[in-house]
């Protein structure tokens, strides 16, 4: 495969921009600068770097974003800042999309991929992918919250939530960790509203068996190998251990 075709398919740069970067020596193949677009590579074997960032040759791309506040989890919502703006062009592809949603005012881990089948598996209710949220409540945690959440909260509009697990973060008055196996619209916030409290801050800290890397700064992202993404589908995080790290 031609190098320029590979870069065009796996980044958001135009052909003109790529020609310029090639001429400027910003592209390396297996550690060596390559300036010719017609240079032949094998995507699965050669390591291509653009502007110092590895451009994966895999068929699908998996990007983990530490989402900040103020961005919507969609690719094309008019008048809103999209999480897609936070993905560098050399780490992006034309079909890359967020998997599920995090509210505009929420933070934490968000997966983006062009693997539609895997995205559906993570979102589908029948997959039961666990999602863990660290929350800060406006008022102190009350002892009966855990029991009511475990029994299945009924929201204000009559919608029933599946049983979930929630516990207060040790040493705090109004922080908690909650684990859901479903993803209704604004579910965590609506659950605590039904309990007479208000979620002031919400951050997703884990999905399935994968936790938000502590060294990934807010607003930054990293490329994940598929084996790490599979942890989201096949495993669950240790709730008790995760609670102690908050």
Active site residues: 103
Query: For 83, left (φ over 0), alpha (ψ -120 to 50), or beta?
Result: alpha
Lookup: tokens for 84: 């897609």
CA angle, 149 then 106 then 122, to 5°:
70
Phi then psi for 42, rounded to 5 degrees? -110, 105
With contact defined as beta carbons under 8 Å apart, do 23 and 43 qualify? no
Rounded (10°) angle between helices 15-23 and 3-10:
130
Q: Which residue has the tokens 């110092």?
A: 52
* Mode of pairing for the β-strands spanning 199-207 and 107-113: parallel
């Amino acid at each position: 495969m031609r190098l320029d075709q590979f870069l065009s398919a796996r980044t958001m740069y135009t052909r003109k921009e790529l020609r310029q970067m090639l001429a400027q020596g910003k592209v390396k193949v297996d550690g060596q600068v390559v300036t010719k677009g017609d240079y032949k590579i094998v995507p699965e074997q050669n390591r291509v770097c653009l502007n110092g960032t590895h451009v994966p040759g895999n068929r699908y791309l998996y990007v983990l974003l530490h989402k900040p506040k103020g961005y919507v989890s969609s690719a094309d919502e008019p008048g809103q800042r999209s999480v897609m703006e936070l993905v560098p062009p050399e780490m992006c592809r034309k079909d890359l999309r967020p998997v599920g949603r995090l509210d505009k005012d929420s933070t934490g881990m968000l997966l983006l991929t062009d693997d539609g089948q895997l995205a559906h598996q993570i979102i589908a209710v029948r997959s039961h992918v666990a999602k863990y949220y660290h929350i800060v409540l406006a008022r102190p945690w009350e002892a009966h919250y855990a029991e009511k959440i475990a029994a299945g909260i009924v929201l204000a509009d009559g919608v029933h939530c599946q049983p979930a697990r929630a516990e207060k973060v040790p040493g705090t008055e109004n922080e908690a960790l909650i684990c859901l196996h479903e993803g209704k619209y604004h579910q965590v916030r609506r659950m605590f509203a039904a309990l007479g409290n208000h979620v002031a801050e919400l951050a997703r800290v884990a999905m399935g068996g994968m936790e938000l890397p502590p060294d990934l700064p807010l607003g930054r992202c990293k490329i994940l190998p598929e084996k790490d993404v599979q942890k989201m589908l096949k495993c669950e995080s240790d709730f008790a251990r995760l609670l102690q790290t908050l």
